[in-house]
Structure 1
Amino acid sequence: MAEEKEKPLTREDVLKLIKENGGTAKGLDLSGKTFETSIDLSKLNLEGINLKNAIFVGANLRNTNLNSSQLQGVNFVISNLQEANLKYANLEGAQLLGTNLWAPNMPRKQVSKAV
C-alpha cells in the first residue's frame, strides 16, 4: 500500500498545535512541514517557532511575529511577510522568490543569507 501523503497544515492546525504547546509557539517544531496554499497566518505570535525547511506558497504572514524563529531553508514563494517581525530570525538559505519582504526591523545581513 502506498504511503499516505501528509496533509498540508491549516491555520486551525497551527493554532491547535500552539495551544497543545502550552499556548506558545516558542520551541514548537514544524520543521519540514508543508502549509496549505495561501494560508493566512497574519498577526499571529510565532516567536521562537522552528520552521526550518517548511514550505509556504502564497502565504499571508503580514504583521506576524517571527522574532527569534528558525527559518533556515524555509520556502516562502510568493508570500506576504510585509511588516512581519523577523528580528533575530535565522533566514539562512530561505527561498524568498516573489515574496513581499518589507520588514522595517530586519537587519540587511539577514536578507543577504537568504536566497
Structure 2
Amino acid sequence: MPVAREPIAAEALLQPRSTSSAFPKASPRVMHAERTFWEKAMDDAGFADKAFADRQLANAVAKHKSMFFAEKAADRSPIDYAAAVDGHLVLTPSGDGLRALSED
C-alpha cells in the first residue's frame, strides 16, 4: 500500500496553556518515501533502488500522474508515463527541437 497512517502533533499544540485544555491529535494518511520517489522520478530522471524495483508502485504512480498531472509533449501529444516505467521513454528531441539543441 502506498500510504500509511502516521501520528503527528503541531508543536504549538504541545505547549499546555491551561490544565483544562485538550488538544486534538491526528493520524493522517501520508505517502511512503518510495511513492514520493516515483512522483518525482516522473519529473526528474533520478533512481532509487527500492522504488525502482517496485513495478506495481511505479505503474500506480504513472496512472495517477496521467490522470491528475498529465503533460503534453512539444507536439501536443499526451506523454505516456507508463512508457517511463517500462523503459521506453525517449527524452531526446527530434526535428527542429534537436537542431535547436545541437546549436545551443
TM-score (norm 2): 0.25
The structure whose residues are more often helix, as a share, is 2
TM-score (norm 1): 0.23
